[in-house]
Chains A and B, each alone.
Chain A
């Protein structure tokens, strides 16, 4: 069997957590199998098919977790299209278009460069190095962040729509594309960008999760036929189990982060990435 059920449980759980924690799911899914001596490689067709299922599960969990926000955002988008403009007091419409503007650059870069970047940087050595880079970026974002209220009152979506400019939405969205390099975290790049744009930790995380939902979901849907084609032969069962565990761990992760970041910073995640990347680099060099 290409991926056994135990491996699918470990990898599914890891994917759900590391996709949402700012610690790079792709980096972990490259480094961990190598360190455990599993014969699983990032660019193998069956493993990509497995990842489609776990990513789709994560996207669905995010969509469900922020269901009320998405309903408001979609209604706002519809309203603005009907009125052919964004009313100054329509925070839902503004947030919706900020998400669209942020999603387009990352989506385009992903569509056009994903394959070549993944081939270029998919080695465990490279992923371990970029995991350390991710740590430096997170710690740097903490140091350079614009001051924001630790936890302001009021509706978080309105706060985000008020604080973010179109320019910063494009920058945050583009920063997400860095996550095509295994080791760099998509949510970390978006959260760090949100901090730089003046959002609080909690709002930066919320915006990062909203921004991640369409791009993770679309990427998974685009590759879903692979799972049901020949590339999915022998991995559909483990992929389903992995997706279930990914969904549960993603739900717990997003729930934890939305509470944790009300009062804490990204520093522990930055330190973790530096330490984990350092240990993995040494282990790969020695082993």
Chain B
């Protein structure tokens, strides 16, 4: 059971990291330079999707906090009961 929790925590941390990268890409790259599979990609557009970047950063932060709590001493106490 504990190993499942660890896997879940690791996956959540990876997702948070990926979202941080995505947020940086949204801030740094215009819509035309985004990969075609990323929401907001528009051929020939110089628009920067700042709001998409903020959204990705907020979700990354949320997932980061979730992992922080789930790997804390209180979570271990609950898991150990």
CB-nearest residue of chain B to A88:
B74
A107 touches B58 (CB 8 A): yes
Number of residues of chain A lying within 8 A (CB) of chain B: 14
Which A residues are CB-close (under 8 A) to B35?
Answer: none
B68 touches A112 (CB 8 A): no
Q: Mark B25-69, 1 if CB is under 8 A from A, else 0.
A: 000000000000000000000000001101100110010010011
Which A residues are CB-close (under 8 A) to B71?
Answer: 84
- B72 part of interface (Cβ distance < 8 Å): yes
Which B residues are CB-close (under 8 A) to A100?
Answer: 62
A85 touches B58 (CB 8 A): no
- Indicate whether A111 sits within 8 Å of B54 (C-beta atoms), given known contacts A83-B74, A85-B74, A85-B75: yes
B58 touches A104 (CB 8 A): yes
CB-nearest residue of chain A to B72:
A84
A111 touches B74 (CB 8 A): no
- A252 part of interface (Cβ distance < 8 Å): no
A84 touches B51 (CB 8 A): no
CB distance from A164 to the nearest CB of B (A): 18
> How far is it, in angstroms, between the C-alpha of A222 and the C-alpha of B55 when the chains are bound?
12
> How far is it, in angstroms, between the C-alpha of A130 and the C-alpha of B36 when the chains are bound?
37
B55 touches A84 (CB 8 A): no
> How far is it, in angstroms, between the C-alpha of A112 and the C-alpha of B59 when the chains are bound?
13
Which A residues are CB-close (under 8 A) to B54?
Answer: 111, 222
State which of A80, A81, A104, A112 has its C-beta within 8 Å of the C-beta of B51: A112
> How far is it, in angstroms, between the C-alpha of A104 and the C-alpha of B19 when the chains are bound?
15
Which A residues are CB-close (under 8 A) to B73?
Answer: 83-85
List which A55-98 residues lie within 8 A (CB) of chain B. Answer: 80-81, 83-87
- Indicate whether A84 sits within 8 Å of B59 (C-beta atoms), given known contacts A111-B54, A112-B52: no
Which A residues are CB-close (under 8 A) to B69?
Answer: 80, 84-86
B51 touches A85 (CB 8 A): no
> How far is it, in angstroms, between the C-alpha of A112 and the C-alpha of B52 when the chains are bound?
7
> How far is it, in angstroms, between the C-alpha of A31 and the C-alpha of B54 when the chains are bound?
31
CB distance from B47 to the nearest CB of A (A): 12
List which A193-247 residues lie within 8 A (CB) of chain B. Answer: 222
A81 touches B68 (CB 8 A): yes
CB-nearest residue of chain B to A107:
B58
- Indicate whether A111 sits within 8 Å of B51 (C-beta atoms), given known contacts A104-B58, A104-B59, A104-B62: yes
> How far is it, in angstroms, between the C-alpha of A107 and the C-alpha of B56 when the chains are bound?
11
List 19 interface pairs A-B (beta carbons < 8 Å), by A numbering: A81-B65, A83-B72, A83-B74, A84-B72, A84-B73, A84-B74, A84-B75, A85-B69, A85-B75, A86-B74, A100-B62, A104-B59, A108-B59, A111-B51, A111-B52, A111-B54, A112-B51, A112-B52, A222-B51
By Cβ-Cβ distance, the 5 closest A-B pairs, closest first, are A84-B72, A85-B74, A111-B51, A111-B55, A85-B72
